[in-house]
Amino acid sequence: MPKVAYTEEDRKRVREALLTTGLELMARQGIQHTTVEQIYKAVGISRTFFYSFFPTKEDFVVETLYLQQPKILAYARKLMADPALSWREGVRQFLLACCYGEKNGIAVLTIEEQQLIFRRLSPESYQTFREKQARLFGELLECFGIRSDGERVALFTNLSLAVMVFRRAIPQTMPLFVPEAADKTVDFQIDTIVNYLECVRE
């Protein structure tokens, strides 16, 4: 018989389980192929109870992206502290892990997913996302030993997301690109980003 009364502590645990489960599924199989039903069934709750936490799937997805931000930052710090890696190797390994997120438990939005999700967010939710995103990329720059002023944060955000989205877009969204050269293209783009970061590193 399903549980009908939940304490605040119960609700907190269920919410955390939903976000953790959703992030794992989305990182592995993509956001478009992850359904609300898969998530609430994996946690063992009803559809109605799921929507008592998150009004829409889009709101849920954004919350999972917030959940992974500290994990991404912790991973970058771990790489930077690894004595076996040079500065370049650490930054490069971090960007590669993000580009191939499905192999590393990192959810990366495709072009279509970005359009679908952010078209349905409220202006307030969108603004909050942008602020948290800027904070994350600023903290990543600081982790790499680079002063994070607004211009650098904006450029680093765009360069990083561009290579991640590019990698996810071939060949489905960008059929005129050559899929056989996708990995080498990603390598080239990452090397370019690392070269730029090395130039502004203090």
Residue 11 lies in a domain: no
Q: How would residue 178 be classed by pLDDT, with cut points 50, 70 and 90?
A: very high
Place of tokens 């645990």: 13
Q: How would residue 1 be classed by pLDDT, with cut points 50, 70 and 90?
A: very low
Angstrom distances, CA of residue 10 to CA of 14, 16, 29, 56:
6, 10, 28, 21
Structural domain boundaries enclosing 156: 58-200
* CATH number, domain with residue 111: 1.10.357
Residue 140 lies in a domain: yes
Instruction: Give the whole-angstrom CA distance, residue 194 versus residue 11.
Output: 43
Residue 2 lies in a domain: no
Residue 112 lies in a domain: yes
Average pLDDT taken over every residue of the chain: 92
How many structural domains are present in the chain? 1
Chain segment 93-134, per-residue pLDDT in tens? 999 999 998 888 898 888 888 888 888 888 998 999 999 999
Residue 72 lies in a domain: yes
CA dihedral of 34, 100, 139, 136, whole degrees rounded to 10 = -20
Residue 118 lies in a domain: yes
Residue 71 lies in a domain: yes
Chain segment 5-37, per-residue pLDDT in tens? 678 999 999 999 999 999 999 988 888 889 999
Residue 122 lies in a domain: yes
Chain segment 45-95, per-residue pLDDT in tens? 999 999 999 988 888 999 999 999 999 999 999 999 999 999 999 999 999
Angle at 152 between CA 101 and CA 66, to 5 degrees: 40
By the 8 A CB rule, do 159 and 196 touch? yes
The type of residue at 130 is: R
